[in-house]
Structure 1
Amino acid sequence: MPHFGPPDSSRDCLGRPRRLVARTEERYAAVQERLAEGKSLTAIGRELRLDHSTVRRFARAASIDELLVKAVNRQSILDKYKPCLHQRWNEGCHDIPRLHREVRELGFPGDVQTVRRYLRSSKESGLPGVPRPAARPRRVVRWIMTALDRLTIGDAQELKEIRTACPHLDAAARHVRDFAAMLHDRRGDLLPGWMDCVLTDDLPALHSLVAGLRRDQDAVVAGLSSSWSSGQVEGQVTRIKLIKRKGYGRANLDLLRKRILVMT
């Protein structure tokens, strides 16, 4: 069982650096590294997906200690009740809702999530009795569909952990990224090899996709290889449908033809 000693503003209840401290150190190192490479603040902000003012603050800091002073001295409405939480945790009470009710009786005005976040400290803390929240499926899908160099450091790390824990998802993510690269680079000639590779894994959903692609493989290869698209045609079809609907079902083909020609 982890032991809670005297509260340390820079460390969590397991003695590890607080999430805010770890994130500050991580961002400072990343910004300084890119500054040394000669990159501009705008380029760094775009690469790390940080606000320009945040990048400027990290770039102008004389040292990491200057940033950590602000990070570790932030006041929290929970500060007054932390000793009580430490004591109850050491006594074996790991029921977060119960701990929240107890500090509420002492006057704590916050919600249960504040207590949960403090005891968890970070997603990597792994405290007994505090289960790690699973990432939402939509969020994981967004991470998979986003280029790795455009993910935040935290998101990339969490996606890596999820893929490591689930071999099927790791294989699916790999195939999705390969297909995206094939689409981006217009390498339709790689499609047959990609489909054969997909069939070697136990991924029924992607197997169905491969079956559909093979039914019209030549057209798919052409679509992945050519810079042309049917966007213009689809746009005109949508416009004609809109004109037709304005006739409320009373316009015959001749009238529809005239309206289209007049409105062109």
Structure 2
Amino acid sequence: MLQNLSAAVEKTCHQHRGCLRKRAEEETAAEVAEVPEGIPMLLPPAELPRTQIIERTRHRYEDIHRLLEKRWTISAIARRLNLDRKTVRRFRDTDLDQLLVSARERRPNGVLEAFKTYLNTRFTEAQGQVSGTRLFLEIQARGYRGSRQVVRKHLAALRAGTAEPVRADIPSPRKITSWIMRPRETLTESQDERLLQVRLACPDITRACDLARAFADLVRLQRGYLLLEWIRQAEQDAPKPMKGFAGFLRQDLDAVTAGLTLPWSSGAVEGNVNRVKTLKRAMYGRASFELLRTRILTQS
């Protein structure tokens, strides 16, 4: 149940990632507004670089929408382009700009990524008249462990106006989900602060977080008598994935209530079943039933 709950929370975080991006952009805009007047803004333009994943996303979007205009079905497009139907549906329902931003965010962070904001600010303050060696020494004192050549390359891109925009530090849906699903006392001060910022940025993620933690308490403390009230609250004002999870629980309400109330568990039985299946698959087509029986009995 906790695994299914975790999947619903992660899906909610995926769906409302735009809230986090919007808040990060607002904070970036506020930082830009603090730059003193008279200093030209020489920061890189908000244009995505032409990387392989960006170009592939563009071409895939064009191919899918070209076939959609010809009234092809989702399944037919998936077979034609050798894609999963979920991928085709996502490209159909999502704007190209959002897809490109998502593709860019999947690129791994470089060693310079955490220092780009500082470099861009210093570059702007000096109106471009600053040496790469000096900036390299400054960020090295702040913990940079990369090469000097990487810094010079970034400054050259700033002067040419071709540098990538600094990516907002947005935690991934999986990371947010891990913060929500873990017991609150196990989070570090930094993780708790970042989760608070996420909650402030999106009311739907906040609601999912509150419901998830309440349900986790039901499981850990075996308070099955509160399950029906939890389901009602989730069905009333929760994000769609959480409502789906609540509906799943309602379909088998008696069994779930018993699981959250009684001390017994089928975990031992399930473990033995998985063990037998593992042995059976390992021997499939290569041994007799008698050998399978012997192995199961000797490993019991």
Normalised TM-score (structure 2): 0.46
- In structure 1, how many angstroms separate the alpha carbons of the residues matched to 2:119 and 2:226? 61
Instruction: Indicate whether 1:233 and 2:261 are aligned.
Output: no
Which deviates further from its counterpart, 141-150 or 163-172? 141-150
Alignment deviations for residues 141-193 of structure 1 (CA, whole Å, 9 cap, x no partner): 11111222221212211111111110000000000000011111000111100
Q: What is the CA RMSD across the aligned residues, in angstroms?
A: 3.5
2:117 is equivalent to residue 89 of structure 1: no
Partner of 1:163: 199
Q: Which of the numbers 136, 139, 143 marks the counterpart of 2:179?
A: 143
SS at match of 2:260: helix
Matched residue SS, 1:200: helix
Cα separation, 1, equivalents of 2:120 and 2:244: 56
Aligned length: 165
Q: Runs of 5+ in structure 1 lacking a partner?
A: 4-81, 94-98, 117-128
Give the drift of 1:132. Answer: 3.9
- Structure whose residues are more often helix by fraction: 2
How far does residue 258 in structure 1 lie from its aligned partner after superposition?
5.1
Q: Is the 8 A contact 1:164 1:170 kept in 2?
A: yes
User: What 5-or-longer segments of structure 2 have no aligned partner?
Assistant: 1-33, 37-117, 137-147, 156-164
For residues 121 and 131 of structure 2, what CA distance do their matches in structure 1 show?
A: 8
Does the aligned pair in 2 maintain the 1:163–1:169 contact within 8 Å? Answer: yes
Structure having the higher Rg: 1
1:103 is aligned to 131
Distance change (3 Å), C-alpha of 1:112 and 1:91? closer
Whole-angstrom CA distance in 2 between matches of 1:83 and 1:211: 50
Mapping for residues 182-261 of structure 1, pairs under 5 Å: 182-249=218-285, 256-257=292-293, 259-261=295-297
Q: Which has the higher contact order (CA 8 A, sep 6+)?
A: 2
- 1:260: how far off? 3.1
2:176/2:195 contact within 8 Å kept: yes
Question: How big is the shift at 1:252?
Answer: 6.0
**Inter-partner Cα distance in structure 2 for 1:85 and 1:256:** 69
Give the TM-score normalised by structure 1.
0.52
In structure 2, the CA distance between the partners of 1:112 and 1:227, relative to structure 1 (3 Å rule), is: farther
